[in-house]
Structure 1
């Protein structure tokens, strides 16, 4: 117990000091952890194997992160926050039409999956339901950010329907879930640097969605 408390104090002090070497090693561990979580699953991944891949023993990993859960949270934090902030900016840009804003939001999420690969996919892949069941402040913040994205997409679809630019015979929630389904399912096959860049994927999804939701001629 005393040793654990000592490591915790050292970790807190190192974070406050924020040396380049310390932060660089934390970033390396986050990168390795994200890939291990995606490939093997959160539950099957151990701190020991994450440490081994970074050249550290399990005990030394605790100098950088207090637990596997803390590593997972750090994997998500930056990607989720950056994505939502950018989606909110796009959605509130009144110089864009509602259709341009919705296309922009869809492009942004796919871009975030690419830029923050594979960390955001870990959340979608197996931990979304687990987090939704948690009562911790962190879990509720992540869920709140997810709900913001959902509200943005549903609001823009509603606006397009009200303007007569999209068909009204399909419920907004169904249309929105079609968007979420297309984007989130990419965790099964998308990899940066693959045959289809993120922008090509999101533009394809946009075309499929907008063509399918186009208002039918009388």
Structure 2
């Protein structure tokens, strides 16, 4: 990173929270997410700067490194899902409706935050291998999210709303696997709307885990 006092100026701008500064940071994040999706993490801040028709030095006024950019991309994507899952868990909806809401929030969030979620899913393995406070934070939040989903499924089993002969962990992993695999095929140009994808996923999942009498 250029050593010209820019780090202190960047920190001051972040703390001040000016509308234009925050908007530019978000623009850089969106562009970087697309670049990382297209070129992988080997992409550089120079690539991001070129896509924004600016020079690399100007990026450092907003972010200290490529790693910091990636961290913010992943943090934003995960925060969205965590907030939605906590609200769904606290609701008084039935377990099937909570599952529908969870799937809806994940799928629509995946589309809304595209390609941020792609970066998160694809880079989670590399994050897990890091020995940093941020990596620990993200892995812990991911585990908390998974625990929230398992808790909703477990409550459904205890209430008899879900089949009791299916492992909670298997059910949860199958749910995550179905949605996380979207990073391989979903693009904003996909001919099926995210809301319809979510509804289809919910019906496919519930058809296997809700007892026949309850489904009827």
Q: TM-score, normalised by structure 1?
A: 0.90
User: 2:110 aligns to what?
Assistant: 113
User: How far off is 1:90 after superposition?
Assistant: 0.9
Counterparts of 1:189-204 in structure 2, within 5 Å, are: 189-204=185-200
| Structure 1 unaligned residues grouped into runs of 5+ | none
Whether 2:177 is the aligned partner of 1:178: answer no
Shift of 1:167: 2.3
Aligned-pair CA distance for 1:83: 1.9
The answer on 1:130 being equivalent to 2:126 is: yes
Structure 2 residue runs without a partner (length 5+): none
User: Secondary structure at the residue paired with 2:76?
Assistant: helix
Establish whether residue 7 from structure 1 lines up as the match of residue 6 from structure 2. yes
Shifted more, 49-58 versus 136-145: the winner is: 136-145
Of 67, 81, 85, which residue of structure 2 is paired with 1:87? 85
Does 1:75 find its partner at 2:73?
Answer: yes
Per mean C-alpha deviation after superposition, the further-off stretch among 85-94 and 176-185 is 85-94
- Hey, what does 2:140 align to over in structure 1? 144
Instruction: Please tell me the root mean square deviation across aligned C-alpha atoms, in Å.
Output: 1.8
1:157 maps onto 2:153 in alignment: yes
Number of the residue aligned with 2:99: 102
Instruction: Measure, in 1, the Cα distance between the counterparts of 2:67 and 2:143.
Output: 22
Conserved 8 A contact 1:7-1:62:
yes
Residues 1:208 and 2:204 are matched in the alignment: yes
C-alpha offsets along residues 7-58 of structure 1, whole Å, 9 cap, x if unaligned? 212212222333333222222111110001111111x211111011112212
Deviation at 1:216, TM superposition (A): 5.5
TM-score under structure 2 length normalisation: 0.91
Distance 1:213 1:101 in 2: 13
In the alignment, is residue 47 of structure 1 matched against residue 45 of structure 2?
A: yes
2:61 and 2:124 map into 1 onto residues whose CA distance is 28
Deviations along 1:98-119, one digit per CA (max 9) or x if unpaired, are 2211211111111211111111
